[in-house]
Amino acid sequence: MAQDRLPPGQYIPRDHSAVHYGPVPRFRPHRWDLRVYGATEDPAGHRWTWEGFCGLPRSECVADFHCVTRFTIPAVRWQGVSSADLVEAAPPAAEATHVMLWAEYGYSANVRMDDFLRDGVLLATHREGEELTPEHGFPIRMVVPHLYGWKSVKWLRAVEYLTSDRRGFWEERGYHNIADPWSEQRYSYQEDPGDGPPLI
Ligand SMILES: Nc1nc2c(c(=O)[nH]1)N[C@H]1C(S)=C(S)[C@@H](COP(=O)(O)O)O[C@H]1N2
Ligand SMILES: [Mo]
């Protein structure tokens, strides 16, 4: 991989294990659903069972994956449902500006609607041609490859359309609201113009 493909402050590790906060949830296919709610065009919202979700159109993307802890995994191939196809099946209301991605156990991450709809953003079921492993998000996970990895929510269960921004799990705990690795948007204090790290 060309060095200029690596965002500032990132390196390629020799190997890498799964990264997450808390335990790996068990998949219960009969209880599982994916909900799209909040500022949906249809006030009733949307819900797919596992079988229903498997019937959505499928896409693929290949992208580098950047974790804020500084490792980058080059050229990961993902397959699943594109955010564009999800939004077509579950259209947001005109006022929707942001999206909250919800996982099992209450983990969440917010992204701007434009970031959600970027090319390459997927609700992934497969990685390198194989079903996701439990540690990597089985049965589905977000892949938002142009932002730091904490936005790529594993064990995704709901997509909430927002009419104003709200911070997710890490965004409330000192991490940057946008998370663009190319401009090293790592920490929330960087959102404050002209300010350095807080003096503790
Ligand atoms: N539900 C959930 N998703 C999550 C996390 C988490 O703690 N919980 N961690 C995030 C972080 S910080 C990273 S870097 C990636 C890691 O994905 P991987 O374990 O497949 O490499 O998952 C993201 N998705
Ligand atoms: Mo991460």
What confidence category does residue 199 fall into, taking pLDDT thresholds of 50, 70 and 90? Answer: low
Beta strands in 129-196, from DSSP E residues, in sequence order: 130-131, 141-143, 156-162
* CATH number of the structural domain spanning residue 129: 3.90.420.10
Q: Amino acid letter at 182?
A: W
For the ranges 3-7, 20-24, 55-59, 116-120, the lowest mean pLDDT is seen at: 3-7
Domain assignment present for 35: yes
Give the integer Cα–Cα distance in Å for 146 and 114. Answer: 12
> Which of 126, 138, 150 has most ligand 1 atoms within 8 Å of its beta carbon, as the pocket-test mutant?
150
Is 128 touching ligand 1 by the criterion CB < 6 Å? no
Return the ligand number nearest the Cα of 150: 1
Return the ligand number nearest the Cα of 104: 1
Q: Is 87 helix (H, G, I), strand (E, B) or coil?
A: helix
Q: Which residues of 127-143 are buried (b: 16+ CB within 10 A; e: fewer)?
A: beeeebeeebbbbbbbb
pLDDT value at position 193?
A: 77
Domain assignment present for 68: yes
Domain count, the chain: 1
Domain assignment present for 42: yes
Sole residue written with tokens 């969440």: 108
Atom of ligand 1 nearest to the CA of 105: 1
Residue 69 region, left (φ>0) first, then alpha (ψ -120 to 50), else beta? alpha
CA of 19 to the centre of ligand 1 (A): 5
Name the residue range of residue 163's domain. 29-190
The fraction of the chain above a pLDDT of 70, given in percent, is: 95
DSSP string of 138-151?
SS-EEE-TTS-GGG
pLDDT in tens, 113-153: 999 999 999 999 999 999 999 999 999 999 999 999 999 99
Return the ligand number nearest the Cα of 102: 1
Domain assignment present for 36: yes
Is 56 touching ligand 1 by the criterion CB < 6 Å? no
Domain assignment present for 18: no
pLDDT in tens, 27-39: 999 999 999 999 9
Q: Whose CA is nearest to atom 20 of ligand 1?
A: 136
pLDDT in tens, 147-173: 999 999 999 999 999 999 999 999 999
Domain assignment present for 120: yes
